[in-house]
Structure 1
């Protein structure tokens, strides 16, 4: 069998196909929130939170007003957990495996920021109060210890036309959440 038939099975094979990592790709990585990266976090109204647990992987959207994730110091981020659907997939995963990854998106900006680290879940009253919005405190706050930070170039966002209004579709082209629940529950839930 040829490699095309069996698939890639080693890093050496990958490197043979893709070549060496370019110097800028290595230079952009830091082990802390560098001042050049602070604006990405302070301006982002959206982050995808990736976790891993006994039932597998999870990526969960988190969003709020720009700057909702606070930089406590160069090695620590604070992420409030606002009211949601109470599945708690990410939080349950963190209890088993505290490794997390964050992908920050900023509307209209092609570059993204990636942060890897570890997290713990806290209910410290002072932190919950610090994140209160309209007198509503989050249930918990994630304290994320930063291990790796780097920006990702805009190629994927450009190719996907994510921020291009011409590429946006109207809501009626997809089923609504109610319609999905109606179908999945075999009409037990009225959408």
Structure 2
């Protein structure tokens, strides 16, 4: 297997980026980035532990759930989850994060890179109250790089095209997969039922 080891070797395969791909990168949010955040219900968060172990975790809520506190800071509420805390534990030793925001039906995405902190400031958490429930914490990110990402990946994958959607019954249920992967003794249907009940009770 031939493996690329250096940036010089890499550039023998790939052309230099076009000028607009470089010029589009900003150091703070502009009006278009603000508007994108206000419409986005979903973000993927990439982080890396000090040891080098990488992780990508999803966050989702109603459009605009990630708030821009100003042109240089965004805040992401943390709702109840599985409590693995992969992202948050990474941040304690390596605060660098990459955020990829999506809007259903839109092929372009918004990328924000920066340095994150975990906050339990009461006033900040109050901004994200939902039906009387506060988030467990809020991740604030100091923006260092922000830019729109082109549509090619979504065009190739046809991610938003209903004709490309899988028939869900053609794939095992989450409970069935979890039973196999975790070696659980419960019936898959019971696991699915338990998960559905937990989702209702702990969504917020």
TM-score, normalised with respect to structure 1? 0.94
Q: Which residue of structure 2 lines up, in the alignment, with residue 50 of structure 1?
A: 46
TM-superposed CA distance for 1:189, in Å, is 4.1
Classify the secondary structure of the residue corresponding to 1:61: strand
Q: Which runs of 5+ in 2 are unaligned?
A: 189-204
Q: Which residue of structure 2 lines up, in the alignment, with residue 92 of structure 1?
A: 89
Q: d(CA) in 1 for partners of 2:89 and 2:121?
A: 18
Give the count of matched residue pairs.
187
Q: Which residue of structure 1 lines up, in the alignment, with residue 59 of structure 2?
A: 62
Classify the secondary structure of the residue corresponding to 1:36: helix
Q: Does 1:35 align with 2:31?
A: yes
Detail structure 1 runs of 4+ shifted over 3 Å in the superposition. none
Alignment of structure 1 residues 120-159 onto 2, 5 Å? 120-159=117-156
Once the two structures are superposed, what CA deviation does each residue of 1:51-74 show, in whole Å capped at 9, x if it has no partner? Answer: 111371110000000000000011
Q: Does 1:26 align with 2:58?
A: no
Q: Which runs of 5+ in 1 are unaligned?
A: none
The question of whether the paired residues in 2 share the 8 Å contact of 1:100 and 1:116 is answered with yes
Once the two structures are superposed, what CA deviation does each residue of 1:135-176 show, in whole Å capped at 9, x if it has no partner? Answer: 110010011000001111101000000000100012212222
